[in-house]
Amino acid sequence: MFFAGTGGSVPGPRRGLPAILVRRGADRLLFDCGEGTQRQLVRSVGLADLDSVFLTHFHADHWLGLPGMLKSFALREREQPLTIYGPPGLRDLMEQARFIYGRLPYELSVAELQATEAVERDGYRVAAIPVNHHRGHAFGYALVEDARPGHLDPELAERLGVTPGPDFGRLQRGETVNGVTPEQVMGEIREGRKIVISGDTSPCEALRIAAHEADVLVHEATFTEEDAPRARETGHSTARQAAELAREAQVRMLALVHLSIRHSASDCKAQARAVFPAAQVPRDFDTIEVPFPERGPPQLVRWSERERGAGESGVGVENGGQVDAPNGDGTAGADMEPVAPR
Ligand SMILES: [Zn+2]
Ligand SMILES: [Zn+2]
């Protein structure tokens, strides 16, 4: 999960508007596309050939970067089709934005999702979670992988009379071979990975259920606890509320995003960690690597570490986890006009 923009409402000096790029195998999914997202991507991992964009809702800070990005894809002579998913109202929005992006040389599909509807992909699905944000529809998204079959025990299978080779494959696909059933020789089914992205929301029961035992919950934290009444009025969450939800849902890692320029990231982190120690506050361009559960916990990889690692060894992703440099958290912009959160 690559964080292209971790701010909310208005961009700050260090935090762009919401956009998270999820890379899974060859798939490239973008969740939200705030103004400036393509520039953020070009400056970091490159303007990936996305196959899908999922919008959480239609406040401008979450989608205004999309028309420009569609246009850039056109100028780059993209041919690969692209699908935009979002809540009801998406078709109108995209129709109105058409005068900006014009005719495209690639196929653009627009798919309005209903609450709880899931997009089925190869090996996983992305489900829309209805969240509590404003009068219109607003979604969070849960990316849930299919469960994986257990490991085949080759010695046991041979002992029971199955010959190594194609018959092992048949067992792994669920067939019975020479009277030996898969249950006899296969270990337990292993859960796939799950990541949940809240979008903008006040604390939300549907989200808590969807996030149950997720590997990573990316949750908005527009306010610190002092502004809890404002959070309630505007349909947002405090860092502490996000942490409480993470604790109740028993997620493995909480990543706070949609940070306001009015609050410091270190305050958000401290308030969240008081409730849920595995809370992180990614900065723009940070990555969270999400391994299969049996290969260890999710890891926050700082962009600075990744850059340094890349300079030294050409890889550098592996050695950067858990690094939590003290700089860069002072994003509260005292000289900026307070703005209403969107
Ligand atoms: Zn927002
Ligand atoms: Zn909003």
Count of domains observed in the chain:
2
Contact 282, 254 (CB under 8 A): no
In the prediction, which pLDDT does 281 show? 98
Give the closest residue to 246 by CA, choosing from 289, 304, 203: 203
The reply to whether 74 and 216 lie within a common domain is yes
In the prediction, which pLDDT does 316 show? 37
Residues with catalytic annotation?
A: 61
The reply to whether 143 and 155 lie within a common domain is no
In the prediction, which pLDDT does 150 show? 87
In the prediction, which pLDDT does 49 show? 83
Going from the Cα of 165 to the center of ligand 2, the distance in angstroms, rounded, reads 55
Is residue 183 included in any domain, yes or no?
yes
The reply to whether 135 and 153 lie within a common domain is no
Question: Over the range 204-231, which residues count as b (16 or more CB within 10 Å of their CB) and which as e?
Answer: bebbbebbeebbbbbbbbbbbbebeebb
Contact 212, 14 (CB under 8 A): no
The reply to whether 249 and 169 lie within a common domain is no
The reply to whether 249 and 164 lie within a common domain is no
Ligand nearest to the CA of 32: 1
Ligand nearest to the CA of 220: 1
Beta bridge partners of 112: 86
pLDDT tens across the length of the chain (342 residues): 999 999 999 999 999 999 999 999 999 999 999 999 999 999 999 987 899 999 999 999 999 999 999 999 999 999 999 999 999 999 999 999 999 999 999 999 999 999 999 999 999 999 999 999 988 899 999 999 999 888 899 999 999 999 999 999 999 888 999 899 999 999 888 889 999 999 999 999 999 999 999 999 999 999 999 999 999 999 999 999 999 999 999 999 999 999 999 999 999 999 999 999 999 999 999 999 999 988 999 999 999 888 777 655 444 343 333 333 333 444 433 334 445 666
Is residue 116 included in any domain, yes or no?
yes
In the prediction, which pLDDT does 310 show? 67
The reply to whether 247 and 298 lie within a common domain is yes
In the prediction, which pLDDT does 133 show? 96
The reply to whether 64 and 155 lie within a common domain is no
Neighbours of 4 (CB within 10 A): 28
Neighbours of 10 (CB within 10 A): 22
- Angstrom distance (rounded) from CA 265 to CA 259: 7
Contacts of 164 (CB under 8 A, 6+ apart): 154, 157, 158
Q: In what order do the strands lie in the sheet with 279-280?
A: 118-121, 124-130, 139-145, 194-197, 216-220, 253-257, 279-280
In the prediction, which pLDDT does 339 show? 56
In the prediction, which pLDDT does 328 show? 42
Is residue 342 included in any domain, yes or no?
no
Is residue 326 included in any domain, yes or no?
no
Going from the Cα of 203 to the center of ligand 1, the distance in angstroms, rounded, reads 15
Contact 37, 4 (CB under 8 A): yes
The reply to whether 306 and 290 lie within a common domain is yes
Going from the Cα of 65 to the center of ligand 1, the distance in angstroms, rounded, reads 13
Going from the Cα of 290 to the center of ligand 1, the distance in angstroms, rounded, reads 25
The reply to whether 54 and 176 lie within a common domain is no
Q: 184: domain range? A: 149-189
- Angstrom distance (rounded) from CA 50 to CA 27: 7
The reply to whether 24 and 98 lie within a common domain is yes
CA 171 to chain centre: 35
The reply to whether 250 and 108 lie within a common domain is yes
Is residue 44 included in any domain, yes or no?
yes
- Angstrom distance (rounded) from CA 117 to CA 126: 8
Is residue 231 included in any domain, yes or no?
yes
Report in angstroms the alpha-carbon separations of 217 from 28, 100, 212, 278: 19, 34, 9, 11
Q: For 247, which DSSP code? A: H
In the prediction, which pLDDT does 335 show? 35
The reply to whether 176 and 210 lie within a common domain is no
In the prediction, which pLDDT does 296 show? 93
Going from the Cα of 241 to the center of ligand 1, the distance in angstroms, rounded, reads 17
Give the closest residue to 308 by CA, choosing from 319, 292, 300, 293: 319
Ligand nearest to the CA of 138: 2
Beta bridge partners of 219: 256
Helices (H), 186-280: 205-210, 228-234, 239-249, 265-273
Query: Which pTM value belongs to this model?
Result: 0.87
Helices (H), 76-216: 90-101, 154-159, 166-172, 182-185, 205-210
Is residue 337 included in any domain, yes or no?
no
Is residue 332 included in any domain, yes or no?
no
- Angstrom distance (rounded) from CA 128 to CA 118: 6
Last residue in a domain, options 167, 189, 211: 189
Specify the CATH number for the domain of residue 9.
3.60.15.10
